[in-house]
Amino acid sequence: MLIIGYSILMFYMSSKIRLSPIRSLSILLSSFFLLHGLYHLLGTFEGTFEVEFLEFVEDVVVEPLSWALFLAFSIYFAKRGG
């Protein structure tokens, strides 16, 4: 839950940034944090309640999507971030 709260704070802070490359970087990074936090939250719920559908969503949908966002952040940072 801490990661999700931190990502919401990062979304707010990135809305205040005026420089486009830095704003894009912070939005990509906070999106990664949000999805990665959701991944861990679903893992906790799946382990607690033993719902197979949550394990599917966690492993097949959320985890690859979060790592794709992290890869997009890394590529954008390599090209524009310095």
Whether 66 is in a domain gets the answer: yes
Whether 18 is in a domain gets the answer: no
Whether 13 is in a domain gets the answer: no
Whether 4 is in a domain gets the answer: no
Whether 41 is in a domain gets the answer: yes
Can you give the residue range of the structural domain that contains 35?
Answer: 26-82
Please give the pLDDT value at position 81: 74
Number of folded domains in the chain? Answer: 1
Q: What Cα–Cα distance (Å) separates residue 10 from each residue in 21, 22, 27, 28, 50?
A: 15, 12, 8, 10, 32
Whether 50 is in a domain gets the answer: yes
Tokens of 59: 């492993």
pLDDT, tens digit (0-9, with 9 covering 90-100), for 13-50: 999 999 999 999 999 999 999 999 999 999 999 989 98
Tally the residues of the chain.
82
Distance, in Å, from the CA atom of 65 to the CA atom of 82, rounded to the nearest integer, reads 25
Whether 64 is in a domain gets the answer: yes
Whether 70 is in a domain gets the answer: yes
pLDDT, tens digit (0-9, with 9 covering 90-100), for 51-82: 899 999 999 999 999 999 999 999 999 998 76
pTM above 0.95, yes or no: no
CB atoms within 10 A of CB 64: 12
Give 40-47 contacts, CB < 8 A, sequence gap 24+: 40/3, 41/1, 41/4
